[in-house]
Chain A
Amino acid sequence: MSLSKSLHLLGPRFGVLPLSHADAERRIDDPLRRAGLAALAAALVLLPFVANAYIVYMACLVAITVISVVGLNILTGYTGLLSIGHAAFNGVGAFACGVAATRWGFPFWLAIPFGGLVAAAAGILVGLPSLRIKGLYLAIATLAAQFIFLFVVQHWESVTGGDRGLQMPSPDLGFTRLDSDFKLYWLIVPVAVAMCFFASNLFRTRIGRAFVAVRERDYSAEVLGIDLLRTKLTSFALASFYAGIAGALMAYFFRVVNPEQYGFGASIFQLTAVIVGGLGSVLGSILGSLFMVAVPELLKEAVVFVAGADATKSAVFLASARELVFGVLIVGFLLLEPFGLAEVVRRVRARLAVWPFRS
């Protein structure tokens, strides 16, 4: 293959000339991108067969986190509505799904969307004041909503099981039950892939553009005909729907719905993933989730290495070490790489596009 041809393959969009307006709108129009996506799909399909149980477990966890973080990114990254209570919507979805599955006998393929829709409704409710309450005050309101949610869960024992939580059945496919991580992988990962696909599509259309417009300058958006309240509510609903689906999947994955998992700490965890990965980027949400799930695991290894295998001592050590590392990550990324990992990827690609020349 000649040098020029192989250079053509190296760079994204390098030497690609769209021949029609429809082609210009396409995203996956060069062979390298197509090959890359195919390879990724193949890797995702092969993974549960070649990896050990721990990796499969982690992969499911990452996939669930990705769904929720993409939702949060839609709300906070694209639309600029700061929400510190996102984990509460995970919880709403999880409990709605749990109640539907345990009390009303919904099959999983109904219970999960049900969880998403109930969470979306909650999101619209929380978002209703967002026209009047802005910026920091909205963030504070979402924080208050988060704590009120936890209170409601604790006290509505008839529905939520109070502090004990709900026990979940395994999803039933008729011919088999999804009762192992390996089997659940085939539910969770395709759902995650689909939801990422939908989200990134949104931002090629007027819906996604409207979100960004509302974030930047709302009077300018209004002049363009964008209905502010409707757009903000759509953003809340969408983000909460994603969070609810993630929550419902969590319910089946952990086999129990427990209010502890849906508190302030979890909300901060997801916000950190958004920042680390990159605001306003679906790829960023994926990278951020990967990073945030991987870090505690790596940390666990490191702590055991340093403190020795003494379980109790290292557990205590671990919690504080985790807080410290998360804090350093947040501040570090904000100061050094404010646009997140997605921006790092973008820079690498831009350099590759003109390699061996410098950009």
Chain B
Amino acid sequence: MSLLEVHDVSLAFGGVKALTDVSIDVQPGTVTAVIGPNGAGKTSLYNVISGFYRPQKGSVRFDGADVTAVKPNRRAGMGMARTFQNIALFRGLTVLENIKLGAHHYLRTGLLSAAWYVGRAAREEAELRREIEERIVDLLHLADWRDAPVSALSYGLQKRVELARALAMRPRLLMLDEPVAGMNREEKEDMSRYILDVREQWDVTVLLIEHDIGMVMDLSDRIHVLNFGCKLASGSPAEVAADPAVIEAYIGEQR
């Protein structure tokens, strides 16, 4: 059964049709990519899946349950984690504090125990610290930047911290929005490797929006292609690369 199923979703803003009858599915344990030229509706699709936009038509099912109308902040608890195209880290906090925020939805510390700190809150924070250090900081090589304010980090590092924060959510579905946009070759290779490491060690399903076709071909098990808000094709990398509609959209008509 699919972990995530987007079924016949249509989304329009006034006269602008962002998505028309788009259906995609994501199988558990895979890396699935959504690609398409700029303006194809990829981020709108993510925003529908995250719950920020309600589609005029269609549904989103996560692990069998219909989540189309569920409020955005309830989805973290269901296992959905997401990064943003323009980095959405909290600049007033350090790297570690940003990562710790990923755990917000499952931590139990309330107002009173937080005010007192000694006891329940202290234990929870220490436990959280342990988990982050052991599972995330080492994996993503962030040890040197733990206490740095995120505004002091390079673009590539910030993207890595965003990935780290998403992991701290203990997600079942990890949605990445252009994780290597704006990076040089070396940074892109590092990030690709991190994504693969994550998939191995964390037993998480990855959904990926990306422009770098090479990376997409290398990483993905399955690809969905969007263009002008419609789905063009779905399939394995080889199938999609050979699909004439896809070729036409990207390169132009075959001569």
Residues of A within 8 A of B (CB): 21-22, 24-25, 198-199, 201-202, 204-210, 212-213, 215-217, 219-228, 234, 238, 280
Q: Distance (Å) between the CB of A234 and the closest chain B CB?
A: 7
B47: shortest Cβ distance to chain A, in Å?
A: 9
| Interface hub of B102, B122, B127 (most chain A Cβ within 10 A) | B122
Which residues from B are CB-within-8-Å of A238? Answer: 111
Nearest CB of chain B from residue A343's CB, rounded to whole Å: 13
Q: Which residues of A contact B103 (CB under 8 A)?
A: 206
**Residues of chain A contacted by B81 (CB below 8 angstroms):** 223
What 5 new A-B contacts, CB under 8 Å, besides A201-B121, A206-B107?
A: A206-B103, A209-B97, A213-B93, A225-B77, A226-B73
Residues of chain B within 8 A of A25, CB atoms compared: 122, 125-126, 129
Cβ of B115 within 8 Å of any chain A Cβ, yes or no, is: yes
Partner of B76, one of A217, A219, A223: A223
Contact between chains at A201 and B116 (CB < 8 Å)? yes
Number of interface residues of B (CB under 8 A): 44
- Contact residues, B88-128 vs A (CB, 8 A): 88-93, 97, 100-105, 107, 109-111, 114-117, 121-122, 124-127
B126 with A22: CB separation less than 8 A? yes
B117 x A201 contact (CB < 8 A): yes
CA distance A257 to B107 in the complex (A): 42
B10 in the interface, Cβ–Cβ < 8 Å?
Answer: no
- Judging by beta carbons under 8 Å apart, are B90 and A225 in contact? no
Do the beta carbons of A202 and B115 come within 8 Å of each other?
yes
B133 close to A (CB within 8 Å):
yes
5 nearest interchain CB pairs?
Answer: A225-B105, A225-B76, A220-B88, A201-B117, A198-B115
Q: List residues of B whose CB falls within 8 A of some A CB.
A: 50, 52, 71-77, 81-82, 84, 88-93, 97, 100-105, 107, 109-111, 114-117, 121-122, 124-127, 129-130, 133, 165, 169
Q: A205 contacts B101, CB within 8 Å?
A: no
CB-nearest residue of chain B to A210? B104
| A344–B9 alpha-carbon span in the complex (Å) | 54
Do residues B133 and A215 form an inter-chain contact, with CB atoms below 8 A?
no
Please tell me if the beta carbons of A205 and B77 are within 8 angstroms of each other in the complex. Answer: no
A216 CB contacts on chain B under 8 angstroms? 90-92
The reply to whether A222 and B72 form a contact with Cβ atoms under 8 Å apart is yes
Contacts of B97 in A (CB 8 A): 209, 212
**B112: nearest chain-A partner, CB-CB:** A198
Closest B residue to A194 using CB positions: B115
| A215 partner residues in chain B, CB cutoff 8 A | 92
Contact B104 A225 (CB under 8 A): yes
> Are A224 and B104 neighbours in the complex by a CB distance under 8 Å?
yes
In the complex, A205 Cα to B108 Cα: how many Å?
10
Give the Cβ gap from B150 to chain A, nearest Cβ, in Å.
10
| Residues of chain A within 8 A of B105, CB atoms compared | 224-226
Residues of B within 8 A of A202 (CB): 111, 114-115
Contact across chains for A213 and B90 when beta carbons are under 8 A apart: yes
Assuming the A-B contacts A209-B100, A226-B73, are A201 and B114 also in contact, with contact meaning beta carbons closer than 8 angstroms in the complex? Answer: yes
In the complex, residue of chain B having the shortest beta-carbon distance to the beta carbon of A205: B114
CB distance from B97 to the nearest CB of A (A): 6
Q: In the assembled complex, how far is the CB of residue B162 from the closest CB belonging to chain A, in whole angstroms?
A: 9
- The residue that B73 contacts in the complex, of A204, A209, A227, with Cβ under 8 A, is A227
Residue of B nearest to A195 (CB): B115
For this complex, 25 residue pairs linking A to B, each with C-beta atoms less than 8 Å apart, are A21-B130, A25-B122, A25-B125, A198-B116, A201-B115, A201-B116, A204-B121, A205-B114, A205-B125, A206-B100, A206-B101, A209-B93, A209-B100, A213-B101, A215-B92, A220-B90, A221-B73, A223-B73, A223-B76, A224-B73, A224-B105, A225-B74, A226-B105, A227-B73, A238-B111
In the complex, the chain A residue whose C-beta lies closest to that of B103 is A206
Question: How many angstroms between the C-alpha atoms of A113 and B96 in the bound complex?
Answer: 36
Given A205-B109, A213-B90: A224 touches B102 (CB 8 Å cut-off): yes
- Roughly how many angstroms separate A22 CA and B129 CA in the complex, as a whole number? 8
Given A21-B133, A201-B115, A213-B90 in contact, is the A223-B122 Cβ separation under 8 Å? no
| A207 x B90 contact (CB < 8 A) | no
Of the listed residues A199, A206, A215, A238, the one surrounded by the most CB atoms of chain B closer than 10 A to its CB is A206
**B90 A212 Cβ-Cβ under 8 A:** yes
When distances are taken between beta carbons in the complex, the residues of chain A under 8 Å from B102 are 224
Beta-carbon contact of A224 and B101 below 8 Å: yes
Give the Cβ gap from A70 to chain B, nearest Cβ, in Å: 12
Residue in B74, B84, B109 whose beta carbon sits within 8 Å of that of A206 in the complex: B109
Contact at A280–B88, with CB atoms within 8 Å?
A: no
Q: Is the CB of B129 within 8 A of A223?
A: no
Complex interface: chain B residues within 8 A of A201 (CB): 114-117, 121
Q: What residues of B have a CB within 8 angstroms of the CB of A206 in the complex?
A: 100-101, 103-104, 107, 109, 114
Contact A226 B104 (CB under 8 A): yes
CA distance A105 to B104 in the complex (A): 43
Complex Cα distance A225/B76, Å? 5
Cβ contact within 8 Å between A207 and B50: no
Which of B73, B124, B125, B169: most chain A CB closer than 10 A? B73
Task: Give the distance in Å from the alpha carbon of A227 to the alpha carbon of B75 in the complex.
Answer: 11
Residues of A within 8 A of B52 (CB): 219, 222
Asked if residues B117 and A205 are in contact (CB atoms below 8 Å), the reply is yes
